[in-house]
Amino acid sequence: MALKAGIVGLPNVGKSTLFNAVSNSAKAQASNYRFCTIEPNTGLVNVPDARLDKLASLVNPERVVPTQIEIVDIAGLVRGASKGEGLGNKFLANIREVDAIIQVIRCFEDDNILREEGAINPVGDKEIIETELQLKDLESVDKKLQRTEKLAKTDTKAKAELDVLLKCKAHLEQGKNIVTLGLSKEEKVAIADLFLLTDKPVLYVANVDEASMHTGNKYSAALIEAVKNEGNEVIVMTNAVEAQIAEFEDADDKAMFMEEYKMTEPALDRLIHSTYKLLNLSTYFTAGVQEVRAWTIHKGWKAPQAASVIHTDFEKGFIKAEVIGYNDFITLGSEAACREQGKLRIEGKEYVVNDGDVMHFRFNV
């Protein structure tokens, strides 16, 4: 599944530093000037999952394969981006291609790091980005409105689309994001071709200084207060420290470094898990002597859809799924023991896969 989360924010807030910390397969240049990032950097990120490690310890496979999500580091946005300022048009086009937004907000003071918007103001920074995205969406909606209004006079389907577009226009003009409009599945079809920027789920990263990494500060507190009614999560972290942790290859060295900062786990792990949740994703496992592997699916997918992420033939020729609950597998210690104890179930096409299921698929092509 090629699901992407895009890291966005104003220039010099720590986007590329975060990308470097989180990405397993690519490194972005992080420098103290505008538009250090021009072309988006893309990297695959392993999703930490203790369940995968526990399964592997029982099965002892030849290899262990975690599931991954794709993270994109996008050029810094500036005021006026919706009108083409800075790298505006390119920036906004890159955001259209992601499924969720990780918005990095500067919550630290440092005279050595450039800032064009005056005093540190995390709420103001958030509003600048939202306003630019809303203005661009309004432009997209207006263009489609012009085309749809003519068709709606004689076309029932176009009339229904017109009603949705007018609803979106009014919402955007009030300074609100489309994701908060509560459109039905049918209504969303009317705007699906627009790939609206404010119709994407958002996760905020409050990038604080080292002294505030455990407690936060007045800036991160202001951001948390500002978004409390949105239902969006704010993760407080120090991007520069996280980038240093990610550089360690030796587990003992990493543990020692984290101990110095009184950290039990990298904040990155929380960020990755939250991004996974933001994308409405779930995990199932396959477990055999050759490999123990985690697979990404959307929550609510049925067994044939889940099988398709292994290979499309698995969905086409789906017969049955052999399913063991994760807790049963761990408690009994093996697939064989689960069979003996009647904990292995045979499920059909209508089975909705649970997060953590250990599965094998029967298929015929």
The reply, when asked if residue 94 is annotated as ligand binding, is: no
The reply, when asked if residue 46 is annotated as ligand binding, is: no
Q: Which two tokens stand for residue 45?
A: 């990120």
Query: Could you tell me how far CA 225 lies from the centroid of its own chain?
Result: 22
Identity of the residue numbered 317: G
The reply, when asked if residue 16 is annotated as ligand binding, is: yes
Identity of the residue numbered 192: A
The reply, when asked if residue 86 is annotated as ligand binding, is: no
Pick from 261, 217, 263, 266: nearest CA to 105: 217
Q: Do residues 351 and 321 touch, judged by C-beta distance below 8 A?
A: yes
How far is CA 186 from each of CA 143, 162, 180, rounded to the nearest angstrom? 21, 13, 16
Q: Do residues 52 and 74 touch, judged by C-beta distance below 8 A?
A: no
Judged by DSSP in three states, 74 sits in coil
Tell me the DSSP string of 231-294.
Answer: T--EEEE-HHHHHHHHH--SHHHHHHHHHHTT-SS-HHHHHHHHHHHHTTEEEEEEE-SSEEEE
Measured between alpha carbons, how far is 28 from 179 in angstroms, rounded to an integer? 30
The reply, when asked if residue 212 is annotated as ligand binding, is: no
The reply, when asked if residue 13 is annotated as ligand binding, is: yes
Pick from 271, 21, 171, 177: nearest CA to 30: 21
Q: Summarize the annotated binding site as residue ranges.
A: 12-17
Summarize the annotated binding site for ATP as residue ranges: 12-17
